[in-house]
Every structure is written in structure tokens, then in C-alpha cells.
Amino acid sequence: MSHNPKLSVVIPVYNEADGLQALFDRLYPALDALNLSYELIFINDGSKDRSAALLSQQYRMRPEVTRVVLFNSNYGQHMAIVAGFEQSLGEIIVTLDADLQNPPEEIGRLVAAIDAGHDYVGTIRRERQDHWFRRHASRAMNALRERITHIRMTDQGCMLRAYRREIIDTINQCREINTFIPALAYTFAHHPTEIEVNHEERFTGTSKYSFYQLIRLNFDLVTGFSLVPLQAFSLLGMILALASAALFILLVVRRFILGSEVEGVFTLFAITFFLMGMLLFGIGLLGEYIGRIYQQVRQRPRYVIQAILQDQERV
Ligand code: UDP
Ligand code: MG
């Protein structure tokens, strides 16, 4: 095996013990069939089940094409991918989920799209096998995010993506903590494209993302890539301030012409509550940005690697 393979496949693994063998059984033959030099990089993101043991067992079966990075704890899917990127040597880098929702047989088509001159290949799931609520919620979020951040991803939830080396090198220079890899990569791409791929039901196990985490993810996506929410908020604040100034003048003039009034008190309450709600939202939004700044300035290590299993000759 040459020192720099053509293809690196990066796969984050978190509590996937039940499905790993099925993944290996399809992944290795699919990559062997491509007839190019490749390496597989698995990142065990602090799994609490037997995933780490299964990965090291698989490493011993195919040490010439397999590398395993073991985290000491759970740092999240995107940090796992970042660690995989930092280890990767390939010219083309493909990311894939471990749960077989992205068929490994599609990797060849991604590689072909990169060879055709694209530097970023996203994917769209042909028939998405997820709950309808998740499907619709993510479509609505996509539309909003696209407007705010100008990042065009038809299907942000699909991790099966391919990147050219230059993009990965740029990502490796970023020291961001709460990031979303496909979006970050998109901002560095010159010639992105998207292709349709098959999508399957999760082989076993359940999604590692709760509803709350999905909301968090979308906040990170917007605040991590755009200042538009803050700017829109100050614009809104300006309009409201002007409107209340006008109301104030109106009330003062009215007071002197028609005398004092007490009707409409509850309308006033409603307006006040609405404004208080807006204010709280604004403070929360500020908090999102400040939180990000805080995490960033602490400069803690983004993840800690416990061990790397790899062929000594290759590094
Ligand atoms: N994953 C991870 N760390 C986490 C959560 C998930 O490495 O904290 C991995 C997981 O093993 C899988 C991929 O990220 O390979 C996507 O996770 P999942 O399938 O649960 O997400 P979904 O497909 O539901 O968006
Ligand atoms: Mg999945």
C-alpha cells in the first residue's frame, strides 16, 4: 500500500456494536471493488458498548487499510470526523455514518463526481427512511438556514459526502468547537455539487440524536455561520423603538387634548408582554453567540485521543 492512498473514508462510531459487523461486511467489498488505494479511518467516539473491541478486532483483520482512533470520551459526531480528517492521508475524503443508512456501495459515485472536477460532493437521500416529522422539520429548517447562511445543502442530515484534499486541509486549520462539518466544508468549496443516493433504514440501534439535540444543532448551524440573527434583531429593535416613540408622542398629545384615559389597559399588557418576549429572545440569542465565544476562548483541547491503531510503516 502506497503512503498516500487515493481515498480516505472517515466513519464516526458511537455505540454501534450491533451494526458494525454488517457494516464491515458491506464496506470492505464495496471499497475493494473500486480498484483504487484506500484507507478506512474509524473513530470510536467514547462508545460505552463493545464498539471499540469490534473495531480493534477488525483492525487486526485488515491492518493495511484500516486505522482506528480511540477517543477517551464522547465528543460528538463532528469532532470525531475532525479527528478522522486530521489523520487522513487520502486525496479524496469521504465521510459516512456507521449505521448503514448511507449505502457504502454509493462511494464509487461520489469518487467519480470528485474525479469529474468537483471539490465537494453532497448527497440527497432519494427516499428518506425517517419519521415524517423529522423529514418535514428538517425541510423547514433547511429553507431557513439557507436564507440566513447562504449554505446550500438540500439534505443537511446526510453525512455521506466527499471532499477534495484542499478542503480538508483548510478544515484542519480551523479550531472551531461546535461546528457542522458539511457546512464548514461548503464555505471553502469552489465547485460544489450534489448527487442523489439511496437511503436505508438504520440497520440496528436508534438514532443518537434526541429532539433537543436536533434543535441545538440547528442553532449551532445558524449562529456558527452567520451574524444575520443578531443584525436582524438590532433592526427589529430599532423599528420597535421608533414605533414606541411615536406611540409616546401620540399619548402625550392625547392626554393634553382629551384628558387622562384608562381604557385599553389590557391591550397595553399584551403589547408589553410581547415586547418582553422579544427582549428575552434577544438576550437568549446574544447568549448563543457569547456561549460560542466562551467555548472558543477557553482553548481547551477539542478531543482527547486515547490510542490510535495503525500500521507502523505507514506513519
Ligand atoms: N455518532 C458519534 N458520536 C455521537 C453521536 C453519533 O460518533 O455522539 C456517530 C454515529 O455512530 C453514527 C453517526 O455519528 O455513525 C450518525 O449518528 P446517528 O445515525 O445516530 O444520527 P442520525 O442518522 O440519526 O442523524
Ligand atoms: Mg444515522
Question: pLDDT tens digits for 44-86?
Answer: 999 999 999 999 999 999 999 999 999 999 999 999 999 999 9
pLDDT (0 to 100) of residue 314: 60
Instruction: Tell me 198's DSSP state.
Output: -
d(CA 110, CA 160): 9
Kindly report the protein residue whose alpha carbon is nearest to atom 17 of ligand 1. 208
What mean pLDDT comes out for the span 240-244? Answer: 91
Coil/strand/helix, residue 87: helix
pLDDT (0 to 100) of residue 129: 66
pLDDT (0 to 100) of residue 199: 82
pLDDT (0 to 100) of residue 235: 92
pLDDT (0 to 100) of residue 141: 81
pLDDT (0 to 100) of residue 203: 74
pLDDT (0 to 100) of residue 209: 82
Asked if residue 106 has pLDDT above 70, the reply is yes
Across 80-89, 127-136, 284-293, least confident range: 127-136
pLDDT (0 to 100) of residue 194: 95
Residue 110, Cβ density class (10 Å: 0-12 exposed, 13-18 middle, ≥19 buried)? buried
Q: Please provide the average confidence, as pLDDT, over all residues in the chain.
A: 91
Question: What percentage of the chain exceeds 70 in pLDDT?
Answer: 98
List, as ranges, residues with CB under 5 A of the ion ligand 2: 97, 99, 101
The 7-13 sheet, strands edge to edge: 192-197, 120-125, 161-164, 92-95, 7-13, 38-44, 66-71, 305-309
pLDDT (0 to 100) of residue 315: 56
pLDDT (0 to 100) of residue 82: 97
pLDDT (0 to 100) of residue 42: 98
Across 42-51, 118-127, 131-140, 147-156, least confident range: 131-140
State the distance from the centre of ligand 1 to the C-alpha of 133, rounded, in angstroms: 19
Asked if residue 209 has its Cβ within 6 Å of ligand 1, the reply is yes
State the distance from the centre of ligand 2 to the C-alpha of 148, rounded, in angstroms: 26
Find, among 149, 129, 310, 311, the residue nearest to 222 by Cα: 149
Per-residue confidence band for 1, with pLDDT thresholds at 50, 70 and 90: very low
What mean pLDDT comes out for the span 271-287? Answer: 92
What mean pLDDT comes out for the span 128-151? Answer: 82
Q: Position 82: which residue type?
A: V
Kindly report the protein residue whose alpha carbon is nearest to atom 22 of ligand 1. 207
Within 8 A by CB and 6+ apart from 151, the residues are: 145, 183, 186, 187, 225
pTM score, two decimals?
A: 0.88
pLDDT (0 to 100) of residue 86: 97
pLDDT (0 to 100) of residue 157: 79
State the distance from the centre of ligand 2 to the C-alpha of 131, rounded, in angstroms: 12
State the distance from the centre of ligand 2 to the C-alpha of 296, rounded, in angstroms: 28
Asked if residue 134 has pLDDT above 80, the reply is no
In ligand 1, which atom is closest to the CA atom of 206? Answer: 20
